[in-house]
Homo-oligomer: A and B are copies of this chain.
């Protein structure tokens, strides 16, 4: 086995900077592929490939509009990420940093007491 398919889930899909940028752009509303190509400064095939990955994990929806394809953000799969990361929110909050310090000091004190 080599590695998890990028297409497997939102975590993998979003690990790529370009795909995050695409989602950022789509947050501003529906966009045709060539719009994205221009805004990102990428080659068109690369953009289409990234869009495919995003489509496969459900992060974007497509709609045909004449010869264009309009892509639209669908953030729902991001909720899984949000939920998971939120679990750790305390970890980076100021107050818990302080708590860590207190706990460390406490540990040191105990260590001394054992002598």
Which residues in A have some Cβ–Cβ distance to B below 8 Å? 4, 6, 11-12, 14-17, 20, 23-24, 27, 73-76, 78-79, 81-82, 84-92
Contacts and interface: CB of A to CB of B under 8 A. Distances in A.
Contacts of A20: 11, 84
Contact of A82 (B14, B73, B89): B89
Main secondary structure of the interface of A (DSSP, over half): helix
A27 B87 contact: yes
Given A15-B15, A92-B75, A85 B85 contact: yes
Contacts of A73: 88, 91
A84 to B, nearest CB: 7
**8 shortest interchain CB distances as A-B pairs:** A75-B91, A75-B88, A15-B15, A76-B92, A79-B92, A82-B85, A12-B15, A11-B15
